[in-house]
Structures are given as C-alpha cells and as structure tokens.
Amino acid sequence: MSLIPTLAERIARARGDLRMGLPMQIDGWLVAAAETLSETRLADLRALGQPVVTITARRAETLKARAYDGDLARVTLPENADLGWVRALADPSRDLMHPMKGPLFTERGGDTNPHKAALALTKSAQLLPAVVMVRADGSDGLTDLSAGPTLAQLAAESALAPVAAARLPLASAERSRLHIYRPDDGGEEHYAVEIGDPPRDAPVLTRLHSACFTGDVLGSLKCDCGPQLHAALDAMGRQGAGVLLYLNQEGRGIGLANKMRAYNLQNQGFDTVEANHRLGFEDDERDFRIGAALLRKLGFAKVRLMTNNPRKVAMLERQGIAVTERVPLVTARNRFNAGYLDTKAEKSGHLL
Ligand SMILES: Nc1nc2c(ncn2[C@@H]2O[C@H](COP(=O)(O)OP(=O)(O)OP(=O)(O)O)[C@@H](O)[C@H]2O)c(=O)[nH]1
Ligand SMILES: [Zn+2]
C-alpha cells in the first residue's frame, strides 16, 4: 500500500519529533533528545521507568564516564537529577565553570542497538548527540522505528533528484547555472553551480564546498570558507568552465547551532577538533558521497579538484570519480583563523 509511510519517511518524521522535543520509540524504548526535552515530559518518562541518558563515547570521555559499549555510554539518571543535570550531561558549555559532579554510573551488557540508532537520529537532526531513554510502551501517536533498519537507512546513500535549474550570472562568471538537487529522505537540498559549458569527457575544474553561513555569507574571519568559495568561483570564471558543488553540511555536518557551541568552546581554548569531540561529535560528520553523486548526475567522471583536504580526494576516488589533479586552494591567514588552519593541517591532514 503506497499510502503507508516508508522507513525513510518515518525517520524524517522522527527527526522532526526529536527537534520539537516530542519523544519517539525504538524497539520498545521511549527516546527523547536531551536538548529539547521539557520538564513535564522528563517527569512523564520517569514515571514509566528508570531512564538512562545515552551519550557518545566522545562526550563520555570528556565527562570521564566509562563507555562500556564502544562508541556510546549509557548513564543512569540519578533519582535527584533534574532537567538541568540532563542538559549539562549533553551540553559542554558549562563543563569548565561548573564541572559535573560524579561519579557517573554507566550501564553494561544488553542490546545497545536502540541507543546507537537514537544517537544516529539526533545527529541527523543536527541536535546534540544525547538522548533520554526509558524502556516502556509509548502511546499510539509516537513515531515507532526499529533500530537495525534505522541504522542501515541512516548510513545509506540518499538518492538525489534534480528539482530545478536556471541561468544565474555571477560576478565571477556571467555564464553560470544553478542546479538544485533534493534528496529522497527529507534531508537538506544541495546545489551545483555550473560555470560555462564544461565538456563532459575532460577533467572539470571542481570545488566541493561545505556550507558555512558564517564564512560564506557573513564574511567571518574565523575560517577560510568565504575566501575559498570566491577564489574557486573566480578561478572557474577565469578558465571559463567549472563546477562548484555547494553541500548543505554546515559546520562539517553538525549544523550551525552546534557549530556556535563549538565556537564557544574554542573561545574557552579548545581547538576545532577538540570542540567537536567535547560536544560528542566526530571531527568531521560530513557525507562526501553526495559530492560524487552530484558529479555523476551532471555527467562528470573526472575532476581537477580544488581542495587542501586529502580526504576529499580519497573519497571521490573511492566513489569512482577520477581526480586527475589536486589544485591547492590556499587563502590568506589572519589572526582569527591561524589557529584553525594550523589545527586542520596538524590534526586533519590538510595540506597547506
Ligand atoms: N564543526 C566546525 N565546523 C567548522 C568550523 N569552522 C568551519 N567549519 C565548517 O567546516 C566546513 C569547511 O568546509 P570545506 O572548506 O568545504 O572543507 P575543508 O575540509 O576545510 O577542505 P578544503 O577543501 O581544503 O577547504 C564548513 O562546513 C564549515 O561550516 C569549526 O570550527 N567547527
Ligand atoms: Zn567556515
């Protein structure tokens, strides 16, 4: 029956639920995002059983909680802990000023897949990866998922469909077109700027750019994104041909709100990688398969890639796109971005 929501559609709903603070269900567990849960709903969850707060091993490491489960830890919610306690477990912004008083008791044994799926969902909803979970039957109205298929679906590549394209003259290249692609899983749309009319059988000058509202739009001095974006478009304009893929993976995939949380941690002295880890994320949560998929859709199999990030080269090659040349994209240093650029070079293997 085609009118019954598919798994991908139910996952998209679950993302919306978690963002609004509405619990959902996974394999007999009620799940709520720590960041959006209300006092009343926490009380209602508590009335149903003993809650655990599941966090990533990255966050557990900062909190010095034992992660018995590999990439996650299940912290028992103490009886006297309130919503503020749950938030503090999830959100590192007050770690230094008000360190959490331990010890934190973490669970071991049992099936951790529902917990894993819950964390993957909050990440894909661009929320802090921390959830309150209670083993209980929910009410009929809640979105209900099974862990295994949910994890598989979240790891799968989403199919992208072209939606619309139009001529768009740019300051750097008057002969340009903007193409919009929409994924089939309710996720973010991604864009391709095609400059000139690049032949499909030759390597095309390409930039794989990840969204950076602060750098691209506001001209932030904290990163190199804005200057890289414009340098890439200018180079394509000068050469008369190129493709700039604009992937809506703000903040290396953690979203703008979490990126601002990361900036606050950076202002406390942590570098860009440490800040992501303290928030519970990996250094880079982006899915670069999207870039390869867009190139294939546009008819390109070979690229001259403008990047300093060897992971982008490796990933495109793995996805069957030949990178015939890496074109460095070095922009000016300033006193606000020097630390960021150094960390990318030292910890993330960026070539300068
Ligand atoms: N989490 C996080 N994201 C950041 C920070 N600074 C910039 N970003 C994001 O990092 C991404 C940078 O993307 P790119 O410039 O495409 O990629 P790159 O890995 O730096 O590689 P290049 O191709 O060499 O530029 C964007 O999504 C920015 O929003 C930060 O301090 N923390
Ligand atoms: Zn940036």
Answer whether residue 316 shows pLDDT above 90: yes
Q: 220, 252, 254, 351: which to mutate for ligand 1, most atoms within 8 A of CB? A: 252
Which residues 6+ apart lie within 8 Å of 288 measured at CB?
208, 311, 312, 315, 316, 319
Per-residue pLDDT tens over the stretch 169-191:
999 999 999 999 999 999 999 99
Which residues 6+ apart lie within 8 Å of 171 measured at CB?
none
pLDDT on residue 339: 85
Strand partners of residue 24 = 31
Please name the residue whose Cα sits nearest to atom 11 of ligand 1.
252
Q: Is 307 annotated as a binding residue?
A: yes
Per-residue pLDDT tens over the stretch 52-108:
999 999 999 999 999 888 899 999 999 999 999 999 999 998 888 788 877 899 999
Establish whether 304 is a catalytic residue.
Answer: no
Answer whether residue 315 shows pLDDT above 80: yes
Q: In what order do the strands lie in the sheet with 144-145?
A: 72-76, 52-56, 130-135, 29-33, 24-26, 144-145
Establish whether 286 is a catalytic residue.
Answer: yes
Query: Residue 345 carries which side chain, given as an amino acid letter?
Result: A
**Is-same-fold flag (7-154; 160-249+286-347)?**
no
Per-residue pLDDT tens over the stretch 201-247:
999 999 999 999 999 999 999 999 999 999 999 999 999 999 999 99
For ligand 1, whether the C-beta of 337 sits within 6 Å is no
CATH topology assigned to domain 160-249+286-347: Rossmann fold (3.40.50)
Q: Tokens 């992208």 belong to which residue?
A: 160
Q: Is 56 annotated as a binding residue?
A: no
Q: Tokens 């099936």 belong to which residue?
A: 111
For ligand 1, whether the C-beta of 276 sits within 6 Å is yes
Contact 195, 237 (CB under 8 A): yes
* Domain residue ranges of the chain, discontinuous segments joined by +: 7-154, 160-249+286-347
> Using CA atoms, how far apart are residues 20 and 260, in angstroms rounded to an integer?
20
Class of domain 7-154: alpha beta
pLDDT on residue 168: 98
Angle at 94 between CA 97 and CA 81, to 5 degrees: 110
Catalytic residue among 144, 271, 284, 342: 284
Catalytic residue among 15, 59, 74, 286: 286
For ligand 1, whether the C-beta of 259 sits within 6 Å is yes
The residues whose Cβ lies within 5 A of ligand 2, an ion, are 212, 215, 223, 225
| Predicted ipTM > 0.85 | yes
For ligand 1, whether the C-beta of 265 sits within 6 Å is no
